[in-house]
Structure 1
Amino acid sequence: MRLIGMLDSPYVRRVAVTLRLLDLPFAHEPVSVFRHYDAFAAINPVVKAPTLVTDDGVVLMDSTLIIEHLERLAGRRLSPDRPADHARAQRILGLALAACEKTVSLVYEFNLRPEEKHHAPWIDRVRGQVSAAWSLLEAELASPPTWLEGSQAWLTCAVVWTFAIRTLPESVDAAACPRLVALTARAEATPAFLVTPFDKV
């Protein structure tokens, strides 16, 4: 399998860490959707990261859909089976992905859109959404479930927090989220994370 995309993308990185945790062999190709647009388009004309090319040559995109395929391929899931536990895992995962989506929106706003075209009310709204997601995640971690570590919810929380703190530190209040800070520190020290480091270039 081939994983296409840069590890400074939280979506690419969550797939890469998932591949490691599922012990699935793959080749990572750090192709940028910005700097290597034509090269990326030659693999996936939609130019969406992450892109996964299966051993059969099928081109997949969207991190959540890719992860669903990988779990089927591996024959195991990185989420609990019991319905109540699964619902909580999906809540934590949903909050992490919401924080991710809104942080990415801010990164694009500040890095790609001309300053004179910034719309302050919209920026304030998105910042409020990010803040709410972090606060709710921190509350979820006050009594973490026993199955959390090693789950998709766990790894996505860590990947997204690292992305936010490294890419847009002003969007997070680390002092208000000590549990997220601690979770991420533990995750980043594990082999699956160490071999797929955040790579901001």
Structure 2
Amino acid sequence: MIQILYSPTSPYSAKVRMAAKHAGLEFESVMVNTSVAPENLISANPLGKIPVLITVDGQSVFDSRCITQYINRVTGSKLFPRQSEKRLDAEKLEALADGLCDVLITQIYERRFRPEEKVHIPWLEKQWEKTERVLAMLDETPPRIGKRIHGGHIALAAAMSYLALRFEGRWEKKYPKLKRWQKRFNDLHPDLAEFLPRAV
């Protein structure tokens, strides 16, 4: 069976596991602790980063966008639209959501891995400006969502859940449409809730 190496808190892990579930791909979730560089992770991805999808014949697929494209191929385009313009829109939304995650995680790491007196506040402020630009754009025109979703919707749901987990109270009032979008996604797709980022 296909395996997905993941961390429960990682939005990228959440994205690919939700994508696999939504596309009907059977897989086994294998939790790893990246901080200790376990052998099963390092042998699958020398970068030591998650998620990693391991195929039934032992091939490693990473990073998360490569994984979603792999899932789309092996499931007969169940994750992204076939029509080129719609597919491009979905892929752009995935890229934006992943970029939002990148910016959020760098802020977490800046505070987690530096002594308090060495945390670079101006740099953190710059990263939060990027965060707010993305949130403002998405709040102005939230992606349309219904029962039919694609990889871009899933990536955004993972990003918004990570934002809610790590930055609670800093964005909800300012971006109410986006908060409603997150709730609507969760209400329409409760089967994916178990994969959303969570603290451990």
Calculate the TM-score normalised by the size of structure 2. Answer: 0.88
1:121 paired with 2:119, answer no
Amino acid at match of 1:100: C
Q: Distance in 2 between matches of 1:100 and 1:167?
A: 11
- Structure 1 runs, 4 residues or longer, greater than 6 Å off: none
- Structure 1 pair 76–90 and aligned structure 2 pair: CA distance change class (3 A): closer
- Structure 1 pair 5–131 and aligned structure 2 pair: CA distance change class (3 A): same
- Structure 1 pair 43–87 and aligned structure 2 pair: CA distance change class (3 A): closer
- Structure 1 pair 120–195 and aligned structure 2 pair: CA distance change class (3 A): closer
- Structure 1 pair 146–5 and aligned structure 2 pair: CA distance change class (3 A): closer
- Structure 1 pair 149–129 and aligned structure 2 pair: CA distance change class (3 A): farther
Q: Distance in 2 between matches of 1:7 and 1:60?
A: 19
Q: Distance in 2 between matches of 1:165 and 1:19?
A: 23
1:37 corresponds to: 37
Q: Distance in 2 between matches of 1:168 and 1:157?
A: 16
2:51 corresponds to: 50
After the TM superposition, which residues 1-201 of structure 1 pair with which residues of structure 2 at under 5 Å, given as runs?
Answer: 1-34=2-35, 36-39=36-39, 40-141=41-142, 144-145=143-144, 149-169=148-168, 172-189=170-187, 190-201=189-200
Q: Distance in 1 between matches of 2:124 and 2:60?
A: 34
What secondary structure, in the 3-state scheme, does the structure 2 residue paired with 1:199 have? coil
Q: Distance in 2 between matches of 1:79 and 1:38?
A: 33
- Structure 1 pair 38–79 and aligned structure 2 pair: CA distance change class (3 A): closer
Deviation at residue 29 of structure 1 after TM alignment: 0.6
Amino acid at match of 1:160: A
What secondary structure, in the 3-state scheme, does the structure 2 residue paired with 1:84 have? helix
Q: Distance in 1 between matches of 2:148 and 2:181?
A: 9
Amino acid at match of 1:187: F
Residues 69-115 of structure 1: CA deviation (Å, up to 9, x unaligned): 11101111423333433343333333222211100110111112222
Q: Distance in 2 between matches of 1:194 and 1:126?
A: 28
- C-alpha contact (below 8 Å) 2:68/2:151 kept by paired residues: no
Query: Any gaps of 5 or more consecutive residues in structure 1?
Result: none
- C-alpha contact (below 8 Å) 2:32/2:38 kept by paired residues: no
Residues 138-161 of structure 1: CA deviation (Å, up to 9, x unaligned): 1221xx446795111111111101
Query: Any gaps of 5 or more consecutive residues in structure 2?
Result: none
Alignment RMSD: 2.1
* Aligned residues between the structures: 197
- Structure 1 pair 132–148 and aligned structure 2 pair: CA distance change class (3 A): farther
Calculate the TM-score normalised by the size of structure 1. Answer: 0.88
Deviation at residue 42 of structure 1 after TM alignment: 4.4
Q: Distance in 2 between matches of 1:83 and 1:147?
A: 20
Q: Distance in 2 between matches of 1:86 and 1:42?
A: 33
What secondary structure, in the 3-state scheme, does the structure 2 residue paired with 1:173 have? coil
Amino acid at match of 1:196: F
